């Protein structure tokens, strides 16, 4: 009598459960969390470059570095503006190296310090682009993976969660200052050299560009969203980002109850200072005025005002809704282009 052979199990020898008291198999040790991180690392590592930046200064040659992310098949890379910042000595020399050992020279296409984003271009059609996601879909507690080159160690991977959303990061370029909105806070370990690298969701999509270490266990990333996609497109197309400027410094503040009830909103931007010879100065804006709208769009904070002052409003008259002494007024002014830093 022939004993039938047992039907083979879909589990191979390495993936079968270990005997009681034995060490777990590799498959058992590689839990769902690790599988996601491993998959994302393998998928994204070829798209993240180690950037070596050199420039001439008054004190002689200087060198720095960071990370960059390939975003198109024809060689465009995205990084942090402060990684390749070349003031006052002109554009730097930048070389990008990849995990496969290849190295290419890249040039700076455009840089925008007020968003801490810069676009580079490599003359190579062999680069593997990463897929861009949308940070607007992120949730607090969601798994994210940071890929970069801390301390020059190429292809380093750290994982963590989204610690907070909606943070703001102050930036400055020359005399201009701006807040980067909707910054992502994560506990994925970031170190010098991670700047310009990718912050990636569990599906391998780039949702942020790592920009700063805020403290032990805290890292910040500029989000990839509708606003930053426009910035990147402008840098790729024009090499710069144009912004409208009205010439006020201010901050968000609560509206008085009566005004809040009248307008149906609870916050506005209080004018703290009006710059001389600016569009706001010529239009008669004053300190302590409350800006509550631009061309009918509500303004509840500085981020709203910045989003509304787009390039399309440069040299185009607009209507500012302003509360002064408890009364709603309409102020007509024409924004100018924000000077380059």
CATH code where residue 226 lies: 2.40.10.10
Residue 8 lies inside a defined structural domain of this protein: no
Tens-place pLDDT, residues 268-299: 999 988 988 899 999 999 999 999 999 999 99
Q: Per the structure, how many domains does the chain have?
A: 3
Tens-place pLDDT, residues 200-242: 999 999 999 998 766 666 889 999 998 889 899 999 999 999 9
Residue 209 lies inside a defined structural domain of this protein: yes
Residue 90 lies inside a defined structural domain of this protein: yes
Instruction: Find out whether 173 and 153 touch, Cβ atoms under 8 Å.
Output: no
Average pLDDT score over residue span 41-66: 84
Residue 25 lies inside a defined structural domain of this protein: no
Band (302; pLDDT cuts 50, 70, 90):
confident
For the entire predicted model, the pTM comes to: 0.77
Do residue 101 and residue 115 come from a single domain? Answer: yes
Do residue 207 and residue 299 come from a single domain? Answer: no
Do residue 180 and residue 138 come from a single domain? Answer: yes
Residue 29 lies inside a defined structural domain of this protein: no
Band (340; pLDDT cuts 50, 70, 90):
low
Which among 216, 238, 260 is the end of a domain?
Answer: 238
Do residue 280 and residue 225 come from a single domain? Answer: no
Q: Return the closest-CA partner of residue 172 out of 114, 220, 115.
A: 114
Do residue 95 and residue 180 come from a single domain? Answer: no
Q: Is 116 a residue of the active site?
A: yes
Q: Report pLDDT for 10.
A: 44
Which among 122, 143, 160 is the end of a domain?
Answer: 122
Lowest mean pLDDT among 61-75, 76-90, 183-197: 76-90
Do residue 205 and residue 250 come from a single domain? Answer: no
Instruction: Find out whether 192 and 80 touch, Cβ atoms under 8 Å.
Output: no
Q: Is 195 a residue of the active site?
A: yes
The residue from 116, 181, 289, 303 that is catalytic is 116
Which among 97, 122, 147 is the end of a domain?
Answer: 122
Do residue 50 and residue 116 come from a single domain? Answer: yes
Whether residue 89 has pLDDT greater than 60: no
Do residue 153 and residue 219 come from a single domain? Answer: yes
The residue from 47, 67, 80, 82 that is catalytic is 82
Q: Is 82 a residue of the active site?
A: yes
Q: CATH number, domain at 313?
A: 2.30.42.10
Do residue 202 and residue 106 come from a single domain? Answer: no
Band (154; pLDDT cuts 50, 70, 90):
low
The residue from 111, 115, 195, 304 that is catalytic is 195
Residue 178 lies inside a defined structural domain of this protein: yes
Identify the domain containing residue 70 by its residue range. 45-122
Residue 14 lies inside a defined structural domain of this protein: no
Band (124; pLDDT cuts 50, 70, 90):
confident
């Amino acid at each position: 009598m022939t004993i039938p052979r047992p039907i083979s199990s879909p589990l191979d020898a390495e993936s079968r459960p270990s005997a009681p008291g034995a060490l777990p198999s590799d498959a058992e040790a590689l839990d769902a969390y690790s599988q996601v991180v491993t998959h994302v690392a393998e998928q994204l590592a070829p798209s993240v470059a180690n950037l070596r930046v050199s420039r001439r200064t008054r004190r002689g040659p200087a060198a720095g570095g960071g990370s960059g992310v390939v975003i198109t098949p024809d060689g465009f890379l995205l990084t942090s503006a402060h990684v390749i910042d070349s003031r006052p000595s002109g554009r730097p020399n930048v070389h990008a190296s990849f995990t496969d050992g290849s190295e290419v020279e890249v040039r700076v296409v455009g840089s925008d310090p007020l968003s801490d984003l810069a676009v580079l271009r490599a003359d190579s059609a062999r680069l593997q682009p990463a897929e861009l996601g949308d940070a607007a879909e992120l949730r607090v507690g969601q798994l994210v993976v940071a890929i970069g080159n801390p301390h020059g160690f190429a292809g380093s991977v750290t994982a963590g969660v989204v610690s907070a959303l909606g943070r703001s990061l102050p930036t400055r370029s020359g005399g201009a200052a701006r807040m980067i909105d909707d910054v992502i806070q994560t506990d994925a370990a970031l170190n010098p050299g991670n700047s310009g690298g990718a912050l990636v969701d569990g599906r391998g999509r780039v949702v942020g560009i790592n920009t700063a270490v805020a403290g032990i266990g805290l890292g910040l990333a500029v989000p990839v969203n509708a606003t930053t996609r426009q910035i990147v497109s402008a840098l790729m197309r024009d090499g710069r980002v144009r912004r409208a400027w009205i010439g006020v410094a201010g901050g968000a503040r609560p509206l008085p109850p009566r005004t809040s009830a009248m307008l149906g909103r609870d916050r506005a931007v209080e004018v703290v200072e009006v710059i001389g010879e600016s569009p706001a100065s010529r239009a008669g804006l004053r300190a302590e005025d409350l800006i509550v709208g631009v061309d009918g769009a509500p303004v509840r904070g500085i981020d709203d005002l910045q989003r509304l002052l787009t390039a399309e409003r440069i040299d185009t008259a607009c209507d500012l809704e302003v509360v002064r002494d408890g009364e709603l007024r309409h102020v007509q002014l024409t924004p100018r282009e924000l000077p380059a830093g």
